[in-house]
Amino acid sequence: MASEQQMKNPLLVGRAIRAQLEHEVPQDLPLERDFREDSDYTITDHVQELHKSLCKDPRTLELITSLVSHLHAFARETQLTHAEWTKAVKFLTRAGKESTDYKNEFVLLSDCLGLSALVDEINHPKPPGCTDGCEPGPFYTEDAPTLPSGSSLAKPGTTGESMIFIGSVKNLKGESVKDATIDVWQADGDGVYDIQYPDREEPNDRGKILANPDGTFSYRGILPTAYPIPSDGPTGDFLHALGRHPHRASHIHFTLKAPGYDELTTALYPSHSPFLGTDPVFATKKSLICQLTEERDSKRWAELGFKEGEVRGGRVWVWKYDFVLPTIEQVEQVKAARAQKSKQ
């Protein structure tokens, strides 16, 4: 392939073409075959044939062959017009131009098309009885502090009502999982993540919690509320065109890690939240919805670890959940069984 510099210099172009001819003459496809739509050898066959004769990497060939076949089928099925295709290209160009470090429009589109949820299902299948997973979203950061169970994750002054999360990590036999780390990140009571505040100086509402030896853990913090995914770009227009809204039900994100167990990334949702059934990113699952209780007895607040004057709003929300992790082998067995089934 001639480089940009070579293209500007006719002498170098000639040299590049000679080098190509001498060293890697590509196998031309016979052009006498007609690939008009109504012939028995279509443009789809022609593209696939060319890739088959030139592509050396089997997985690349498999992925692109399938992609071409589905894209061409889509164009035929919908009889895609020039105007529609031009609009789609402009839309994707905008998605590229408007993406930033914290707002990747392609990831958002993948989420809103249900593709991220599907890829997660394929890669982390859960044996029955295990906690379901869901995608992490864009607000995870690496800088969360590592903290013992029982810590507070919310800095003083964080907006919202007080909450305690009480959890445990078990395996499918009901045994406590040893040495579990629970990475937690969540929005505050205004539905805003710390990194969305321009004056953020340190992590807030996030932490890597070390579970107790018996697999139990807790943390004090703020009850998160619902919030919209970034909707000021092409993904927002996409949702609008489909009559959908950008609001995610309130939730807490978790990534659980423990030696010998499949890593679990998931989120939990309080049953009182709006938008549970119309999640823009298809990450809300029935099994992840939790019934919270309220603790209004101020004597109990100290027992739960809250300091004098720390509780706001006259109540503490109590959120309990027992996570169940599959072992790495159990997940591999599910994948192998699925692969077997897809071959039949």
HEC string of 17-68?
Answer: HHHHHHHCCCCCCCCCCCCCCCCCCCHHHHHHHHHHHHCCCHHHHHHHHHHH
Measured from the CB of residue 186, what is the shortest distance to Fe ion in angstroms?
A: 7
Identify which of 246, 287, 291 has the alpha carbon closest to the alpha carbon of residue 266: 287
Number of residues counted as binding Fe ion (CB under 5 A): 1
**Residue 288 has what DSSP assignment?**
G
Q: Determine if 280 is a binding residue for Fe ion (CB under 5 A).
A: no
Q: Determine if 195 is a binding residue for ligand BEZ (CB under 6 A).
A: no
Q: Tell me the torsion sign for CA atoms 40, 44, 48, 54.
A: positive
Per-residue binder mask for ligand BEZ (CB under 6 A), 119-148, x = binder = ----------------x-xxx---------
Distances in Å between the Cα of 293 and the Cα atoms of 112, 223, 256, 320 are: 32, 12, 24, 9
Residue closer to Fe ion, measured from CB, 137 or 236 = 137
Tell me the Ramachandran region of residue 30: left when phi exceeds 0, alpha when psi lies from -120 to 50, beta otherwise: beta
Task: Specify whether the CB–CB gap between 116 and 183 falls below 8 A.
Answer: no
Residue closer to ligand BEZ, measured from CB, 139 or 306 = 139
Q: Determine if 248 is a binding residue for ligand BEZ (CB under 6 A).
A: yes
**Selected range binding Fe ion among 130-138, 215-223, 284-292, 334-342, rule: CB under 5 A:** 130-138
Q: Determine if 281 is a binding residue for ligand BEZ (CB under 6 A).
A: yes
Instruction: Choose, by CB under 6 A, the member of 105, 111, 188, 295 that binds ligand BEZ.
Output: 111
Q: Residues, the chain, total?
A: 344
Measured from the CB of residue 209, what is the shortest distance to ligand BEZ in angstroms?
A: 19
Please report, as ranges, the residues that interact with ligand BEZ according to CB under 6 A.
108, 111, 135, 137-139, 229, 248, 281
List interacting residues with Fe ion (CB under 5 A). 137
